């Protein structure tokens, strides 16, 4: 037994790796299972994150402390109009710097030279004010002072026309919004979402020209407070005085409200989470089958090891190490494949699907858990190992 322990300590190659490498086809198959599960986990969690981030891509650039919307609105896809005079109540408080109306509506977009019209988001605001904190908007918004001008989101889907490419040409560009002609005076970066594929900005006056909505109604009200004012405390104090047909949020609470709408009210958030669980389950079953077959093939070897005074605990540790080797080797390949997949999805859809350090760590822990569960199930086959059979 002392010789066996000496050999164990001197061996530089773990037994678990020797068992895996003995059958390279099964090793390759097991790694494919790990890679498949990793890519599926990253894809579903990445798309789920993109769902939430894209839903607030425009709103998070607001230069405001409080956002006012209709009481019946449950999300950005169902924003209802309300009387813009509802914002007057905020002007009564000394903590308020100013209030600003914002128009928001789905409109029919058709690029000049195209026959097809598609739905896009149009936002109207006062270009004389700093409504957004985004530099490209601040740089170009003065062009909206001229009637009929719009700032087009260059991240919009390609089906809406080669606006970005054509904008580099010296000639003016035009599009038709609700069959009304508008000139594209600049490009900004807003991003698409799961509810719209294109968007553009314009002034309040141009918004009224291009839209059929009533001019005395708005969809969003922005309230700017003096620096140092706590927005949460301010809202709590004035909540009882707000009109019954509107609701007010801090900017962060409004972003959370929008994310919650997609998470709870729409099935797509659940679908992404379900697919992530499905990927975990499929990967675990594939890996379990590989490990179970490996244990079965080496059952006589394990019986010999038991006869040489190896304990069942030590042998189970070998099977567990096999699963860890597979996870550590296969996961980086899965991450690399996920990065390529994200670049492809982002280029085609314009969605902000990105790899993050937090998600890489979380998915790695999930893959380790998946591998560990597979190893625990495969260990049951070790009960069939019998050291007595070695001497028969």
pLDDT in tens, 34-72: 888 888 888 888 888 888 888 888 999 999 999 999 998
Distances (CA, A) of 100 to 62, 128, 188, 252, 335: 11, 11, 21, 18, 45
Confidence (pLDDT) at 386: 61
- Using alpha carbons only, give the angle 333, 335, 339 rounded to the nearest 5 degrees: 120
Shared domain for 83 and 232, answered yes or no, is: yes
pLDDT one-digit tens code per residue, 342-358? 988 888 877 888 888 88
The total number of structural domains that make up the chain: 2
pLDDT at residue 223 above 50? yes
Shared domain for 21 and 111, answered yes or no, is: no
Residue 261 forms part of a structural domain: no
Task: Give the sign of the dihedral formed by CA 201, CA 205, CA 206, CA 210.
Answer: positive
Distances (CA, A) of 162 to 154, 166, 169: 9, 6, 11
Shared domain for 97 and 167, answered yes or no, is: yes
Residue 62 forms part of a structural domain: no
Residue 340 forms part of a structural domain: yes
Q: Is the distance from CB of 132 to CB of 62 less than 8 angstroms?
A: yes
Distance CA 282, CA 194 (A): 27
Query: Bridge-partner residues for 68, per DSSP?
Result: 221, 248
Block residue for tokens 């998600």: 359
Shared domain for 43 and 78, answered yes or no, is: no
Shared domain for 315 and 206, answered yes or no, is: no
Block residue for tokens 């149009």: 122
Residue 318 forms part of a structural domain: yes
Residue 331 forms part of a structural domain: yes
Shared domain for 190 and 315, answered yes or no, is: no
Domain that holds residue 49: 2-54+268-391
Q: Kindly indicate the confidence band of residue 10, based on its pLDDT and cuts at 50, 70 and 90.
A: very low
Shared domain for 110 and 165, answered yes or no, is: yes
Confidence (pLDDT) at 7: 45
Residue 258 forms part of a structural domain: no
Nearest to 230 by CA among 250, 215, 201, 200: 250
Residue 330 forms part of a structural domain: yes
The strand pair at 180-188 and 149-153 is best described as parallel
Residue 60 forms part of a structural domain: no
Residue of 16 and 248 predicted with greater confidence: 248
Q: What percent of the chain is predicted at pLDDT more than 70?
A: 93
Distance CA 322, CA 328 (A): 10
Q: Kindly indicate the confidence band of residue 232, based on its pLDDT and cuts at 50, 70 and 90.
A: very high
Shared domain for 87 and 35, answered yes or no, is: no
Query: Bridge-partner residues for 5, per DSSP?
Result: none
Distances (CA, A) of 103 to 61, 241, 333: 15, 24, 47
Instruction: Give the single-character DSSP code of 213.
Output: S
Shared domain for 97 and 50, answered yes or no, is: no
What element of type H or E holds 183? strand 180-188
Q: Kindly indicate the confidence band of residue 99, based on its pLDDT and cuts at 50, 70 and 90.
A: very high
């Amino acid at each position: 037994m002392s010789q066996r322990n000496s050999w164990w300590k001197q061996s530089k190659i773990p037994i678990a790796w020797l068992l895996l490498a003995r059958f390279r086809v099964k090793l390759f198959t097991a790694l494919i299972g790990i890679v498949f599960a990793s890519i599926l986990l990253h894809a579903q969690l990445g798309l789920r994150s993109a769902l939430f981030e894209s839903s607030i891509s425009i709103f998070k650039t607001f230069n405001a402390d409080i956002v006012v919307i209709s009481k019946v609105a449950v999300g950005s896809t169902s924003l209802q109009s309300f009387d813009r005079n509802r914002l007057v109540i905020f002007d009564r408080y000394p903590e308020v710097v100013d209030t600003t109306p914002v128009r928001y509506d789905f409109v029919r977009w058709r690029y000049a030279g195209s026959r097809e019209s598609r739905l896009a988001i149009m936002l109207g605001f006062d270009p004389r004010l700093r409504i957004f904190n985004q530099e490209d908007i601040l740089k170009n918004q003065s062009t909206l002072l001229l009637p009929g001008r719009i700032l087009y989101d260059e991240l919009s889907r390609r089906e809406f026309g080669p606006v970005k490419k054509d904008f580099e040409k010296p000639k003016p560009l035009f599009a038709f919004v609700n069959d009304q002609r508008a000139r594209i005076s600049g490009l900004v970066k807003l991003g698409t979402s799961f509810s719209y594929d294109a968007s553009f900005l314009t002034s309040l006056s141009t918004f009224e020209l291009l839209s059929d909505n009533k001019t005395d109604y708005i969809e969003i009200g922005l309230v700017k407070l003096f620096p140092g004012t706590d927005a949460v405390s301010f809202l709590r104090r004035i909540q009882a005085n707000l009109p019954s047909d509107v609701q007010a949020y801090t900017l962060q609470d409004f972003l959370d409200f929008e994310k919650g709408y997609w998470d709870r009210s729409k099935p797509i958030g659940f679908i992404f989470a379900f697919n992530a669980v499905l990927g975990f389950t499929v990967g675990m079953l594939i890996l379990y089958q590989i490990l179970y077959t490996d244990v079965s093939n080496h059952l006589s070897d394990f019986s010999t090891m038991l006869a040489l005074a190896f304990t069942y605990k030590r042998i189970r540790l070998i099977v567990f190490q096999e699963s860890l080797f597979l996870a550590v080797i296969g996961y980086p390949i899965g991450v690399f494949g996920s990065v390529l997949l994200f670049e492809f999805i982002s280029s085609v859809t314009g969605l902000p699907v990105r790899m993050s350090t937090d998600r890489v760590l979380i998915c790695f822990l999930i893959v380790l858990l998946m591998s560990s569960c597979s190893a625990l199930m495969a260990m049951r086959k070790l009960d069939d190992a019998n050291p007595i059979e070695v001497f028969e």
